Amino acid sequence: MVGQPLTLNVLDLSQNWDTNTPGFARYDGPTIKWVKRVAFEGVGGMEITSTLHVGTHLDAPNHFITNARGIGELPMEFLVGPACVVDLQKMGVGDYQIYGPSQFEEWERRTGITIERGDILVIHTGYHRFYPSNWTAECGPIEPDETRYFIKHPGPTRQFADWVKSRGIRWLAVDAGSADHPMNTVIRQVRPDHARKCAAALGRPLEEVWPDDDIQVMHYDLFPHEIIHIENAGGQIDRILDQRVTVGCFPWRFMGGEAAFCRFVAFM
């Protein structure tokens, strides 16, 4: 007897990707051109030139660690699994602010959901609504604001990176420009005006919040353990807030790739 086909509701947690999609600071965005036209060659063909940290993408361990695994070496069973979707926006986390273990442990108490070892952790800041390539109004009004998205989103410190390791998180995804706080990346040098505003908002010098040994701690400290992440998540993420779901990340089989564009989805 033939069984009934499995029916899944698949939600797209990815952002649009096109010639206007911005790359991260000091990473070139895409150039897309037609190299064949149906009228002349009987077929349409495109050529794309781009860095990899553009739009919804997965960082591989070798993005920061020499001779570590690349995108193509990551097994499918690693890329698909159970996830907890934590809504930090509901907790009032906003511009320039820091999040850490306390918010995630409070989330466990409030929802009754335990973040288990081996879980994927999806972090919803709400900032995906500011991304220029955001395509859905399910998060509320679409409010493209490149500066707020890349420069002002909240982020963590070393305390959170240590907590992620201690809790056995498999990998992470975040609806922001970086898994690190923007002022713990090259953006601190690129936008010194916002660095000053952030320091004022936090009430401390940034060098105290993120000393030199902690620069890009979510990358340098976690990637040796293959705790990697998706950046620029978004899409229909607001449909799965404060839930345990199954998610999947689907980059192409890019052997040695230090990152890859990906389709990030939730299976309901």
Domain that holds residue 128: 57-267
Average pLDDT (117-145) is 93
The answer as to whether 2 is a domain residue is: no
Mapping DSSP onto H, E and C, the string for 24-43 reads CCCCCCCEEEEEECHHHHCC
Structural domain includes residue 5: no
Give the whole-angstrom CA distance, residue 123 versus residue 179: 9
170 assigned to some structural domain = yes
In the structure encoding, which two tokens stand for residue 265, read together? 């989805």
CA Rg value for the chain: 19
The pLDDT tens digits of the residues spanning 17-30 come to 999 999 999 999 99
Determine, yes or no, domain membership for 65.
yes
Residue 243 has pLDDT above 80, yes or no: yes
pLDDT (average), residues 118-137: 95
Residue 11 lies in a domain: no
Q: Which residues on neighbouring strands pair with residue 36, listed in sequence order?
A: 45
How many distinct structural domains can be found in the chain?
2
pLDDT for residue 261: 98
Whether residues 122 and 205 fall in one domain: yes
In percent, the amount of the chain with pLDDT more than 90 equals 93
Burial of 9 (0-12, 13-18, 19+ CB in 10 A): exposed
Q: Measure the CA–CA gap between 177 and 134, rounded to whole angstroms.
A: 12
Q: 152 vs 19, 20, 51, 193, 245, CA distance in Å?
A: 24, 21, 23, 12, 28
In a domain, 258, yes or no: yes
119/152 same-domain check? yes
- In terms of domains, do 22 and 86 share one? no
pLDDT confidence bin for 6, thresholds 50/70/90: confident
Which residues does 228 contact at the CB level (< 8 Å), separation at least 6?
Answer: 58, 59, 60, 61, 63, 171, 172, 222
Tell me the per-residue pLDDT of 194-238, one tens digit each, with 9 for 90 and over: 999 999 999 999 999 999 999 999 999 999 999 999 999 999 999
What are the residues whose beta carbons fall under 8 Å from the beta carbon of 119, sequence distance 6 or more?
81, 82, 83, 84, 168, 169, 170
Same domain? For 122 and 247 the reply is: yes
Please give the helix or strand (H or E) that residue 189 lies within, else none.
Answer: helix 187-190
Distance CA 103, CA 245 (A): 20
Cross-strand partners of 243? 85
- φ/ψ of residue 229, rounded to 5: -155, 155
Q: Which of 9, 26, 49 is at the close of a domain?
A: 49
Residues 114-120, mean pLDDT to the nearest whole number? 99
> Is the model's pTM score more than 0.75?
yes
CATH of the domain at 155: 3.50.30.50
Residues 31 and 61 in one domain: no
The pLDDT confidence band at residue 2, using thresholds 50, 70 and 90, is low
Region 172-178 average pLDDT? 99
- What does pLDDT average to over the chain? 97
